[in-house]
Amino acid sequence: MARGKRKAARQEIIFTGFGGQGIILAGRILGKAAVIGDHRESTLVQAYGPEARGGACSAQVTIADQPIHYPYVRTPDVLVCMSQGGFDKFIGQMKEGGTLLIDQDLVQLRGFGGRFFSIPSTRIAEELGRKMMANIIMMGFFTAITGAVSVDAARDAVTGSVPKGTEEMNGTAFNKGYDYGLAVLKGREKKATGKAGA
Amino acid sequence: MKPAVLTGEHFMTGDVACAEGALAAGCRFFGGYPITPATEVAEHIAGRLPEVGGTFIQMEDEIAAMASIIGASCAGVKSMTSTSGPGFSLMMENIGLAICTETPCVVVNVQRAGPSTGLPTQGAQGDMMQARWGSHGHYDIIALAPSSPQEIFYLTIEAFNLSETYRLPVLIMTDEMIGHISERVVIPEAKKIKTVSRPGPKGRKDRFKPFEPGANGVAPMAHAGEGYHIHVTGLTHDERGYPVMTVEAQKAMMAQLMGKIQRNLDDIIRTEAYRLEDAEVVIVSYGVSARTSLAAVDEAREQGIKAGLLRLITVWPFPEAQIRNLAKRVKGFVTVEINLGQIHLEVERCAAGKAPSFLVGHPGGTIITPERVVEALKESF
């Protein structure tokens, strides 16, 4: 999973949260990064209900080196949760040994004992002055932790997908999330080597 | 003016790719009424048409939307509308008018689960027989079923080309899944896109007969305002377009409406074979269900079942000859579709008892899993 390692031939990812958080946009950025930047195959399925805001929503993204036939994600390798409702709904579907990413202020793990990485993405976004950029921060965090897409492809997809005039601001948000992710990984590496050396 | 053809590599939804395909085909009029999950086709083309010198009108309902594209086409502009289930029902009468008046146009149905309002945000493939027979009277229609955003881009261009060649409404029978998934869509250079436009009339304007077939069996089309004497009616009409209320006129008109399709089946029917050469069991599918079926063929082969897929790109007219020929040599058919048996009935009809035909259907709201198809193959054969 860590950076530099060979990418898996097929990865399934679910982004979930509530309507208005930019969950679908995060999925679109991820798919675009894989297709346009990394020249791989990707399919984004956006699931939504009749409500536009506040309802549960999810973006299912498959990234692969081969054509993707069946487009839906059933057992995600990576689950990204930006709401408690999304976590409750999808945690049972996650592949065994899969990777969970959460906004730590919005999601309680409720006994989940697997591998997870957390970031206060909404709080960081608020500090940057735009709560609505939490999804972009999460996208940066996701890129650092999973390496599912290359950082250049992801950053280009961010700036190419956000409203004109907000590219720089969103680029900064992406970098914040990415750097936070790198720091988390580094912390864990240190911890691991520390243990090994003891 | 901005370019009508967005040459390049994109990551877009099927609905948006459909709108871009229409623009690339030369569509310059869209009359529509928003409805999930087809709204994004209208939304996208509403923004794009003014950029390329075209016109978008949001009509008061789907009856008017269909009427508006017939009118625009009669005025010489390639035109399209898009809708879903309930809107498709409302368009039926005017689809018949376009058939009878031989008016080229394209109708996109992004299918959702019905009947009635059904599941507005969730897909199905339940309108396939409605596409075939939904308007009253007997007629032939062309319906195409794309399986990806890339394919819907190309098939929308094809739909325009077929409608311009044979002068009839061509239906794009897609589904919510294909409409809403995003994938790579490569749009070629404008000069590499082949577009067809209806042939215009030649000769003296006062002697022109608007429904007299030309060399290819289809009448050249004069447009309103060009000075030709034209009369367009949904009544049974003769070559001049005048109403003639006789059995003979009905026979002649029907022979023309049906014949232009029946004589050109090879040009119209498109299918795609996947691992079919040595297949013992044949999956027949289309649209999003064909993607499930592709995965199922591979899975079945791994388990030792010699499966293959016949993917219908053209669903109507139905590829009867292909099913008939396959029926002579295979163990049987499994049709995979998100309804409770529509195209399945056609496969069964064409197999004509030579090979058994089974259905893997679904009432709608989600897609069928490859596992269910493999299971059915095991149980059936």
Tokens 């376009």 — which residue? B98
| Domain shared by B163 and B291, yes or no | no
The span from the CA of A69 to the CA of A66, in Å, is: 9
Say yes or no for a CB contact (<8 Å) between A44 and B182: yes
Query: Which of B192, B208, B239 finishes a domain?
Result: B192
Residue B219: closest CA among B246, B195, B240: B240
The reply to whether B18 falls in a domain is yes
A198 to chain B, closest Cα gap in Å = 48
For A43-95, the pLDDT digits (tens) are 999 876 665 566 778 999 999 999 999 999 999 999 999 999 999 999 999 99
Write the CB contacts of B289 (distance below 8 Å, at least 6 apart in sequence): B125, B336, B337, B338, B367, B368
The reply to whether A103 falls in a domain is yes
Instruction: Give a three-class secondary structure readout of chain B.
Output: CCCCCCCEEEEEEHHHHHHHHHHHHCCCEEEECCCCCCHHHHHHHHHHHHHHCCEEEECCCHHHHHHHHHHHHHCCCCEEEEECHHHHHHHHHHHHHHHHCCCCEEEEEEEEECCCCCEEEEECCCCHHHHHHCCCCCCCCEEECCCCHHHHHHHHHHHHHHHHHHCCEEEEEEEHHHHHCEEEEEECCHHHCCCCCCCCCCCCHHHCCCCCCCCCCCCCCCCCCCCCCCCCCCCCECCCCCECCCHHHHHHHHHHHHHHHHCCHHHHCCEEEECCCCCCEEEEECHHHHHHHHHHHHHHHHCCCCEEEEEECEEECCCHHHHHHHHHHCCEEEEEECCCCCHHHHHHHHHCCCCCEEEEECCCCCCCCHHHHHHHHHHHC
For B293-344, the pLDDT digits (tens) are 999 999 999 999 999 999 999 999 999 999 999 999 999 999 999 999 999 9
Query: Which of B126, B161, B192 finishes a domain?
Result: B192
The angle subtended at Cα B286 by Cα B45 and Cα B102, nearest 5°, is 55
What is the pLDDT at residue A3?
43
B98's tokens: 């376009």
| Domain shared by B144 and B22, yes or no | yes
How long is chain A?
Answer: 198
Residue B332: closest CA among B314, B366, B359, B365: B359
For A99-141, the pLDDT digits (tens) are 999 999 999 998 898 999 999 999 999 999 999 999 999 999 9
Counted domains in chain A = 1
Whether B9 contacts chain A with CB within 8 A: yes
Residue B127: closest CA among B37, B7, B57: B37
The reply to whether B290 falls in a domain is yes
- State the best of A12, A23, A29, A35 to mutate against chain B, taking most chain B CBs within 10 Å: A35
Side-chain-side CA neighbours of residue A154 (13 Å):
26
The reply to whether A107 falls in a domain is yes
Instruction: Look at residue A1 and tell me whether its pLDDT is greater than 90.
Output: no
B83 φ/ψ angles, rounded to the nearest 5 degrees: -160, -175
Contact list, B176 vs chain A (CB under 8 Å): none
| SS3 category, A116 | strand
What is the pLDDT at residue A132?
93
- Out of A28, A35, A48, the one facing B184 most closely (by C-beta) is A35
Contact list, B298 vs chain A (CB under 8 Å): 69
The reply to whether A39 falls in a domain is yes
Contact predicate B99/B135, CB 8 Å: yes
Say yes or no for a CB contact (<8 Å) between B181 and A43: yes
| Domain shared by B161 and B30, yes or no | yes
The span from the CA of A99 to the CA of A101, in Å, is: 7
The reply to whether B237 falls in a domain is no
B181 to chain A, closest Cα gap in Å = 5
Domain of residue B347, CATH code: 3.40.50.920
| Domain shared by B73 and B180, yes or no | yes
B86's tokens: 């309930």
At CB < 8 Å, which residues of chain A contact B?
Answer: 28, 31-32, 35-36, 41-46, 48-50, 68-72
Contact list, B366 vs chain A (CB under 8 Å): 72
Domain of residue B76, CATH code: 3.40.50.970
DSSP state of A129: T
Residue B288: closest CA among B358, B367, B341: B367
Say yes or no for a CB contact (<8 Å) between B369 and A70: yes
Say yes or no for a CB contact (<8 Å) between A42 and B183: yes
Interface A:B, Cβ pairs < 8 A: 56
The reply to whether A36 falls in a domain is yes
B12 φ/ψ angles, rounded to the nearest 5 degrees: -140, 165
The reply to whether B278 falls in a domain is yes
| SS3 category, A3 | coil
Write the CB contacts of B214 (distance below 8 Å, at least 6 apart in sequence): B199, B220
Say yes or no for a CB contact (<8 Å) between B183 and A44: yes
End-to-end CA distance of chain B: 59
> Positive or negative CA dihedral for B298, B123, A162, A54?
negative
The confidence band for A8, taking pLDDT boundaries of 50, 70 and 90, is confident
The span from the CA of A168 to the CA of A158, in Å, is: 10
Which domain does A20 fall in, by range? 10-190
The reply to whether B266 falls in a domain is no
The span from the CA of B246 to the CA of B268, in Å, is: 31
Counted domains in chain B = 2
For A130-177, the pLDDT digits (tens) are 999 999 999 999 999 999 999 999 999 999 999 999 999 999 999 999
- Exposed (0-12), middle (13-18) or buried (19+): which is B279, by Cβ within 10 Å? buried
Contact list, A68 vs chain B (CB under 8 Å): 183
- Out of B120, B181, B291, the one facing A50 most closely (by C-beta) is B120
The reply to whether B341 falls in a domain is yes
Which domain does B281 fall in, by range? 271-380
A198's tokens: 């003891």
Instruction: Look at residue A2 and tell me whether its pLDDT is greater than 50.
Output: no
The reply to whether B238 falls in a domain is no
- State the best of B40, B121, B183, B274 to mutate against chain A, taking most chain A CBs within 10 Å: B183
The span from the CA of B65 to the CA of B59, in Å, is: 5
Contact list, B292 vs chain A (CB under 8 Å): 69-70
| SS3 category, A43 | strand
Residues 59-98 of B with CB under 8 A from A: none
| Domain shared by B17 and B133, yes or no | yes
Domain of residue A154, CATH code: 3.40.920.10
B379 φ/ψ angles, rounded to the nearest 5 degrees: -70, -35
Whether B369 contacts chain A with CB within 8 A: yes
The span from the CA of B91 to the CA of A130, in Å, is: 45
Contact list, A50 vs chain B (CB under 8 Å): 120-121
The reply to whether B200 falls in a domain is no
Whether B311 contacts chain A with CB within 8 A: no
A125's tokens: 């976004």
| Domain shared by B175 and B297, yes or no | no
Whether B184 contacts chain A with CB within 8 A: yes
For B251-297, the pLDDT digits (tens) are 999 999 999 999 999 999 999 999 999 999 999 999 999 999 999 99
The reply to whether A81 falls in a domain is yes
The angle subtended at Cα B159 by Cα B122 and Cα B195, nearest 5°, is 140
The reply to whether A197 falls in a domain is no
B233 φ/ψ angles, rounded to the nearest 5 degrees: -145, 155
| Domain shared by B180 and B298, yes or no | no
Count of Cβ atoms closer than 10 Å to residue B292 Cβ: 29
Tokens 């013992």 — which residue? B280
The reply to whether A1 falls in a domain is no
Burial code (b: 16+ CB inside 10 Å, e: under 16) for B79-91 equals bbbbbbbbbbbbb
Query: Which of B126, B158, B192 finishes a domain?
Result: B192
- Out of A28, A32, A69, the one facing B294 most closely (by C-beta) is A69
What is the pLDDT at residue A195?
65
Write the CB contacts of B357 (distance below 8 Å, at least 6 apart in sequence): B332, B333, B334, B335, B344, B347, B348, B351
Could you give the maximum distance between any two Cα atoms of chain B, in Å? 69
Q: How far is CA B133 from CA B61, B89, B95, B246, in A?
A: 22, 11, 11, 24
End-to-end CA distance of chain A: 25
The reply to whether A168 falls in a domain is yes
Whether B11 contacts chain A with CB within 8 A: yes
Low-confidence ranges of chain B (pLDDT < 50): none
